[in-house]
Amino acid sequence: MMRWAGAVAAAIVGTAMLAGPALAEGDAAKGQRVFNTQCRTCHKVEKDASSPVGPSLFGLIGRKSGTLDGFAYSEAMKKAGITWDEATLTEYLKDPKAKVPGTKMAYAGLKNPAQLEDLVAYLKDATK
């Protein structure tokens, strides 16, 4: 009986791992530092802020990709059909060109999982 219970527990854990990583809560204060060093040159998070390089991120969560008025998005971003949330941001910021081939964003991606988690936590709060 114990062997069967152990097999069931292992199957449950294995299935959960195959389903993908759960979105963990990052540290928004650390994420702000990541944003300031890696993103702020091109993007702003404040309401009515503009940048000649990248679109404003204000109101990002829940927005469809390529739809902010006044910014010249790539056709790839316009057609991507992404609604930005924690999961899509995480995937995109890890490797923008893999998530949206043809994007104009000249950023190789954030490979450090902890920094990525922190950045997404910051963006979730700062772009409201």
For residue 64, the 8-state DSSP code is B
Task: Provide the pLDDT for residue 11.
Answer: 43
**Closest-CA residue to 115 (of 44, 26, 36):** 26
How high does pLDDT run on average in the chain? 86
16-41 residue pLDDT tens: 334 444 455 899 999 999 999 999 99
Q: What class, spelled out in words, does domain 23-126 have in CATH?
A: mainly alpha
DSSP lists the bridge partners of residue 64 as: 83
pLDDT tens-digit readout, 46-76:
998 888 899 999 999 999 999 999 899 999 9
- 39 and 127 in contact (C-beta within 8 Å)? no
Say if residue 77 is exposed, middle or buried (CB neighbours under 10 Å; 0-12, 13-18, 19+): buried
Where are the domains positioned within the chain? 23-126
How would you classify residue 83: left for phi > 0, otherwise alpha for psi between -120 and 50, otherwise beta?
Answer: beta
